[in-house]
Structure 1
């Protein structure tokens, strides 16, 4: 059949449409027939005879309400995943925008990540439930970042933004490290940057000074500080006008108590990325020496006090 469809390309669309129609009438089949059809559909998906767009039929309200869709999906995905790995399945789902719609296999009152995860994990499809959870997390992060940018563009008070972010961390179970990355991206995306290198540094310092309390609120852990440093490094490397601004940004955030001496030294000594490494390490050299000297002086003062 695969060769036939390949040979006569026009058959492909017609075949998919027929399968879509067939799936709408699942209630007309016995359970045994549904299971066989699910297994066959999974194999056809794995072989590339069908696109994952046929899954849209399973979102039919009546099929969903009676639990037929979810039950059929279990058999279908088991069959599909016995032929292909989760990455291949995920790619097929993404290709037709089905990756974010799997929750629709359940009625609205059960359309939660927890329910989906339990249902498919219990059915032996943990890979699929992990994938769906990850997709939801990505979706939530995208929405959160957009909302953050909107709040910044509107000039909402920082205390309100901080409250919003804390609620989102709790609601979506987002780590502080992930959140500081999102905040950094939002802060840097909320402004139109000057194209002139000599002016952009000044603009960046002014902008980041304004948002340093927000960054400070979500760098309570050393790992979060390190994450932020790596994000800054990445940003300055990817945006060439910022190459010379790196050191000034780090010093500003150090003075604003966003970045600690420990985090900066750790980044400098071992945790930096390869991107622009030589340029940024050179920029930071004098400041790091100053930090080390200050640390030594502090230690010797403590010893004298003892």
Structure 2
């Protein structure tokens, strides 16, 4: 009778296994279904703003893979489901009936969704990237939507910036510079709604302000180089350059005045100089470039703008703090700022910065102006 030999065992011996990465299959469809289910279960399914708020709170408390499926999360709120090629919905899966593209093309109808985005991204800032990706995907697919759909996307985009969620303008607007969409006029259509139809006046003003500041800053750097001590550029050529750049960039006179004055002060070499020497240098600059200032200080409002610029700069720069009244006197003598402007500034038009100090310092000059006016009245009689 034969018997099988027992196989040797490795009792007590640890067997090392080869480590390998385990990849969890990507399943955005299940995530999309979960989002729809959570939002619908949280509300009363009346399509109200309260339903959205309840859905947002429920999502905030849910343990979902937001980091992996951030794009899908926002696709659901925009379109009701997961997006496929050509801005169509992926086949199968649950549908969220309350979504941006199913809403009216009005600011008040879309705002509640953007508030949900604001709430979700505040708790999970990494979701901002998912929102950016979804907006870019929609913008690149604008041609697949009708005019009403494009309007809703434009309003949603505008409100996203208005509520300062954190989406970067460069990432979004670069997607709109698509040759095909630009040629069809689609980008112009959406951008017009974005600026004019979404109640985004503050953002528009901010963007214009930023653009002006950038152009003014560039011109200021150029001007400082032209009027610094080592430069031999004639004052008239400097004036011509500033006028040309002003017209080219459509810069307001008040901004040009502010820029000129700042450039004049920056061009003064204050190293190793006392206040008297600094004042002499400033006087020299004003005498040389008085025409440059006078060209743009053409009325009382602009003169006041210049005077306020001088005030703020003197307050913020310790080297100029005690020179304010002397500078005003020089600007008056050069016929750049008039008596009426100075009196208006003294009585009610001064800036809050350093107001008490400067009003006190300039009292002797104000008294001199008043006495000079009285003498002129006596002479007329």
Contact 2:315-2:353 at 8 Å conserved across structures: yes
Partner of 1:140: 212
Match of 1:151 among 223, 226, 232: 223
Contact 1:233-1:246 at 8 Å conserved across structures: yes
Following the alignment from structure 1 to structure 2, what is the Cα–Cα distance between the partners of residues 209 and 70? 60
> 1:9 Cα deviation (Å)?
9.6
In structure 2, relative to structure 1, the CA distance for the partners of 1:291 and 1:34 (3 Å cut) is closer
- Calculate the aligned-residue CA RMSD, in Å: 4.5
Following the alignment from structure 2 to structure 1, what is the Cα–Cα distance between the partners of residues 365 and 152? 61
Q: What secondary structure does 2:323 align onto?
A: helix
Following the alignment from structure 1 to structure 2, what is the Cα–Cα distance between the partners of residues 74 and 190? 50
Higher relative contact order (CA 8 A, sep 6+): 1
Q: Does 1:119 align with 2:193?
A: yes
Q: What secondary structure does 1:220 align onto?
A: coil
In structure 2, relative to structure 1, the CA distance for the partners of 1:208 and 1:238 (3 Å cut) is same
- Structure 2 residue runs of 5 or longer lacking an equivalent are 1-34, 36-55, 90-96, 122-126, 228-232
Following the alignment from structure 1 to structure 2, what is the Cα–Cα distance between the partners of residues 157 and 10? 68
Q: What secondary structure does 2:327 align onto?
A: helix
In structure 2, relative to structure 1, the CA distance for the partners of 1:106 and 1:36 (3 Å cut) is farther
Partner of 1:105: 176
Partner of 1:260: 338
In structure 2, relative to structure 1, the CA distance for the partners of 1:52 and 1:219 (3 Å cut) is farther
Match of 2:69 among 7, 10, 15: 15
Please report the TM-score for the alignment, with normalisation by the length of structure 2: 0.60
Partner of 1:35: 101
Match of 2:306 among 228, 234, 239: 228
In structure 2, relative to structure 1, the CA distance for the partners of 1:226 and 1:26 (3 Å cut) is farther
Structure whose alpha-carbon radius of gyration is higher: 2
More moved, 162-171 vs 56-65: 56-65
Please identify which structure carries the higher helix content: 1
1:129-186 CA distance string (max 9 Å, x none): 6523540342233222223222321445544443444445445544322332233334
Following the alignment from structure 2 to structure 1, what is the Cα–Cα distance between the partners of residues 298 and 273? 34
> 1:262 Cα deviation (Å)?
1.2
Partner of 1:178: 255
Q: What secondary structure does 2:321 align onto?
A: helix
Contact 2:343-2:366 at 8 Å conserved across structures: yes
In structure 2, relative to structure 1, the CA distance for the partners of 1:181 and 1:281 (3 Å cut) is same
Following the alignment from structure 2 to structure 1, what is the Cα–Cα distance between the partners of residues 63 and 281? 56
Q: What secondary structure does 1:280 align onto?
A: helix
